[in-house]
Amino acid sequence: MKYAYYPGCSAHSTARDMHESCLEVAKALGIELNEIKGWTCCGASAAHQTDRELAASLASANLLLAKQMGMDMVVNCAACYSRSKAANYEIIHSEKVRESVADSLGQPYDGSVPVRHFVEIMAKDFGLAKLRKKIVNPLNGLRVASYYGCYLVRPAEVTGFDDPENPTILESLIDVMGGSNAEWSGKVDCCGGMQNLTQTEITVRRSAAVIEMALNAGAECIVVACPMCQISLDLRQADMEKLLGRKYNMPIIYVTQLLGLALGISSEKLGFDRLMVSPAEIIKTVGNGQSIEQSLYGTVATFPYHQGYKNE
Amino acid sequence: MKITKEKTAESLLKVVQEKADVNLSACYQCRKCSIGCPVADRVESPPSEIIRRLQLGAGDELLQTGLIWTCLSCETCYARCPNKINFAAVIDALKYMAVEKGVAKPEGDAPLFNRIFLDTVKSYGRVYDLQAIATYKLKTGSMKQDMDKFPVMLKKGKMAILPPSGADKGMVKRIFKKAAQNKGTGK
């Protein structure tokens, strides 16, 4: 399994934990991630709010490099994923955008490079059955709320990630890890991350609503696959306390961090110390020396998931 | 609500449809977009009403409607539209025009942030968070807000101190140059 890897700008700043844990997990599973040389910013939300063709061209510059490598492009950041998918979609569907991108890049790009999120690589390409055999530290029934947010799932005809209203791919990973899935309706709600700096109050209120829902579903932590969601839900908990008087103390963890733990990788290598809300309780819960057979039995017994299992 | 029809050279509808590549006559006002919109309660006109106002020939006054800069780009409107109208693209088109005509006056200066953000991309080929955030806060006088978070983020390595390196800056410069040229020709 070889891929062209696009880390995205946040990988070296606000989401170093996401990047580090992804590389660790890939290494443990034998997935080869080849960083695209000279990769540039996908344009993020600033470009598509400014100029449609500029947004498509910025994202396409990286897709073109991946095409030259002859591999699928793997992305970890949900926003980069969404922008790259949108560029492909627009290039295929609009002649005007296609021509403009070709003019910008100085060579044509046809929108053909598959853009994949690392979550898809773990669950689909590597596969759940194989992954299950690799788990050495099962989650011991840890109750997890899987949060998708916007960019992965919407709009479905552009991202093609999963069901846009009720995606379950993260839950299937939690299930394999021996966790128990919280049933909740907030998984594709918006965290308000876009207004994090500009109208912070909206972000604080939206993110608090998401955490409140997860809490009501009995979640002990929220698992995310988007750096915007992570920073909004995690960093803004201090502001939720100030604005709303609610102290949640809800750990917000990247799915690759949790999977890394389950695979037996040390929490230091997975960037757990970078999280704002302490994940100490979660790290303690995972991996108490339980055998793989027991965890296998547990997860199979509760298939397809949702019910979760408790270690008896 | 009151809908005023101002005299403009041409109605916004045509320009928006062209820029956003959408057909707004497909809207039959089912309002699924407005029901799903997470900021509908904070704005004067939710998505379906913006479409109606455009259909009724709204003029430039619509460029000052609150939703344009309150929108979270969550795309729930687009995802749930039974007629597949890309309302997120409509909002983006309204943003372009509001900035172009100099009438973008949002609470929390998103156009300014976008400009600063893209300026760092232009310089380094990638986003330089620290510079973008500091410049934005200086220019908007909001230095005090979130001040407590910076030391923690720096300590935890959640904010890079040095600018990014390794990007193909030449390609990015070329893309920005072309975008500026195309804007000049109205392409």
**In this model, does residue B1 exceed pLDDT 80?**
no
Q: Are residues A64 and A133 in the same domain?
A: no
pLDDT digits (tens, 9 = 90+) for A106-165: 999 999 999 999 999 999 999 999 999 999 999 999 999 999 999 999 999 999 999 999
Q: Are residues A154 and A263 in the same domain?
A: yes
- pLDDT, residue A279, reads 96
Interface test with B, best of A51, A107, A157, A278 (most B CBs within 10 A): A51
CA distance A312 to chain B (A): 37
A252 DSSP β-pair partners: A222
- pLDDT, residue A117, reads 98
- pLDDT, residue B185, reads 58
Contact B63, B5 (CB under 8 A): no
Q: Are residues A148 and A279 in the same domain?
A: yes
Residue A310 lies in a domain: no
- pLDDT, residue B104, reads 83
Of the residues A94, A117, A140, the one at which a domain ends: A117
Residue A60 lies in a domain: yes
Residue A65 domain boundaries: 2-117
Residue A207 lies in a domain: yes
Burial class (CB in 10 A: 0-12, 13-18, 19+), A267: middle
Per the prediction, chain A carries an average pLDDT of 92
- pLDDT, residue B3, reads 63
CA distance A162 to chain B (A): 13
**What SS3 class is residue A6?**
strand
Count the domains in chain A. Answer: 2
- pLDDT, residue B107, reads 77
**What SS3 class is residue B43?**
coil
Give the DSSP letter string of A67-121: HHHTSPEEE--HHHHHHHHHHHHHHHH-HHHHHHHHHHHTS---S-S-EEEHHHI
Residue A122 lies in a domain: no
User: Which percentage of chain A shows pLDDT scores above 70?
Assistant: 92
Q: Which range, of A145-159, A173-187, A283-297, averages the lowest pLDDT?
A: A283-297
Over range B31-56, report the average pLDDT.
96
Q: Are residues A135 and A181 in the same domain?
A: yes
Of the residues A71, A90, A117, the one at which a domain ends: A117
Q: Read off the tokens for A187.
A: 């998984």
Measured distance CA(A72)–CA(A134) in Å, rounded: 24
Q: Are residues A140 and A279 in the same domain?
A: yes
Contact A203, A235 (CB under 8 A): no
B125 with A40: Cβ contact below 8 A: yes
Instruction: State residue B13 phi and psi, 5-degree precision.
Output: -45, -50
Residues of chain B in contact with residue A190, where contact means CB-CB under 8 angstroms, are: 38, 72, 74, 76
A41 with B126: Cβ contact below 8 A: yes
Q: Are residues A102 and A162 in the same domain?
A: no
A49 with B42: Cβ contact below 8 A: no
CA–chain centroid gap for A85, Å, is 15
Q: Read off the tokens for A108.
A: 């044509």
Classified by CATH at the fold level, domain B12-100 comes out as: Fumarate Reductase Iron-sulfur Protein; Chain B, domain 2 (1.10.1060)
Q: Which range, of A155-159, A285-289, B25-29, B46-50, averages the lowest pLDDT?
A: A285-289
**In this model, does residue A104 exceed pLDDT 60?**
yes
Cα B141-B143-B145 angle, rounded to 5 deg: 110
Q: Are residues A158 and A256 in the same domain?
A: yes
Print burial letters for A268-297: b (CB count within 10 Å at least 16), e (below 16).
eebbbebbbbebeebbebbbeeeeeeebbe
In this predicted complex, what is the ipTM?
0.92
Q: Read off the tokens for A28.
A: 């443990």
- pLDDT, residue B2, reads 64
**In this model, does residue A289 exceed pLDDT 60?**
no
Q: pTM to 2 decimals?
A: 0.92
Touching check for A105 and chain B: CB below 8 Å? yes
Contact A115, A73 (CB under 8 A): yes
Residue A143 lies in a domain: yes
Q: Are residues A169 and A261 in the same domain?
A: yes
Of the residues A56, A82, A117, the one at which a domain ends: A117
Q: Are residues A31 and A145 in the same domain?
A: no
pLDDT digits (tens, 9 = 90+) for B100-146: 999 887 778 999 999 999 999 999 999 999 999 999 999 999 888 89
Q: Are residues A56 and A145 in the same domain?
A: no
pLDDT digits (tens, 9 = 90+) for A42-93: 999 999 999 999 999 999 999 999 999 999 999 999 999 999 999 999 999 9
Domain ranges of chain B: 12-100, 110-185
Q: Are residues A51 and A158 in the same domain?
A: no
Tell me the residues of chain A between 112 and 151 that have a Cβ less than 8 Å away from chain B. 150
Q: Which range, of A178-182, A272-276, B63-67, averages the lowest pLDDT?
A: B63-67
Q: Are residues A150 and A241 in the same domain?
A: yes
CA distance B104 to chain A (A): 12
B76 with A61: Cβ contact below 8 A: no
User: What is the CATH classification number for the domain harbouring A232?
Assistant: 3.40.50.11810
